[in-house]
Structure 1
Amino acid sequence: MSYIVVGNSIIDSQDYYNKITQMNSFKRVKDLTKGSKREDTLIYQIFHDADELRSQLDIEAKDNISEEEIIDELMELADEKVSHIESIIPETMLCYNYSYHYDEALNEIKTIFIAADKMVGELRLSDIAERILRSID
C-alpha cells in the first residue's frame, strides 16, 4: 500500500489497484507505486495473456502477416486495453501507458501504466516513464 498526493487529496494506490484488477481481464497487475519513491505518481505493471489478445485480433492465417507484425498488433491491442484504465483515474491526473515487451516464453505482453498529478506536466511524465522503463525487469 502506498499513498500519493494529487492536488489537495491523498490517494491510496491499493484502491486503484483493486479497481484495475476488477474492471479488466488482465493476466496480472503489479503495483510499482511504492518502489518509484515518488509522492505524486501511480505506477502499475500490467501483464496480458498473449493468446487471449491473439484471439481478439482479426487476422487470418491466409493474410500472410509476419510474426513480427502480429506481435506489433498484439502490443497495440494491449495498449488499447490499458488505456481504459484512464476512465477510473481522477481528472486531475495525466496518464501514460506503453506496452514494452513480448515474452515469448511466458506468452505475455508487459505494459506500464503511469498516472501523475497534472502539476508534473507532460514532459516530466515522459521522463518519469523513460526512467521506470529502464529500471523494471
Structure 2
Amino acid sequence: MYIVFDDEIIDSKDIKELIEKNSEFKVVKDMSKGSKREDILAFNLSVDIDILNEFIEEEFDLKELSEDDLFEEYLTLAEEIATDLEEYFPEESILDIRAYKWDKSDSNVKIIIAVAHQDIGELKLRDVMKKLITQVE
C-alpha cells in the first residue's frame, strides 16, 4: 500500500522488506490499510522467543522467573528491540509500538508498530494504535 508521508510517497512493501532483511522481526501482516488512513504505516510483527531469551539471560536466570515475570519481560523487551526499527523509517517519523501477545504455540511475541510523520502527532497515532489493537485481538 502506498502511504503519503509528508511530501513523500512510500510503498509499505519496501518498508516490510527492510524490516525482514535487517532485523530479527518477521512481518506477520501489513496493517497499513487497516489503519483507515493514507498517512500511517502499520505492521503486525513477530520476534522469536529464542532471540528474546538471549537478551534476558544476560541479566536473569530464566529458570528463576515466574511465567508472569517472563511474560512481562518478553513484551517489554520486544517493544524495546522494535524501537531500533526507527532507522528504517523516514526522518521525522514518530512510532507507537505495542507488544500484545506471547504466542506459545509459535514460540514468538507479537507486536504492532504504527508509524506516522511527526506532523500527525502522537495523540492521533495513539488513536490509530487503539484501532489496530482491536483488529488483532
Same fold (TM over 0.5): yes
Partner residue in 1 for 2:114: 114
Percent identity, please: 33
Tell me, what secondary structure is at the counterpart of 1:120?
coil
Partner residue in 2 for 1:60: 61
Q: Is the 8 A contact 2:34 2:132 kept in 1?
A: no
TM-score (norm 1): 0.89
Pick which of 53-62 and 127-136 moved more: 53-62
1:78-117 matches, within 5 Å, as: 78-117=78-117
Aligned residues: 134
What is the RMSD of the two structures over their aligned residues, measured on CA atoms? Answer: 1.6
Partner residue in 1 for 2:40: 41
Gaps spanning 5+ residues in structure 1: where?
Answer: none
Q: Deviations over 1:70-128 (max 9, x none)?
A: 11111111111111111121123211111111112222110111101222211111111
Partner residue in 2 for 1:134: 134
Partner residue in 2 for 1:19: 18
TM-score (norm 2): 0.89
Gaps spanning 5+ residues in structure 2: where?
Answer: none
Q: Is the 8 A contact 1:6 1:92 kept in 2?
A: no
Q: Once superposed, which parts of structure 1, at least 4 consecutive aligned residues long, lie more than 6 Å away? A: none
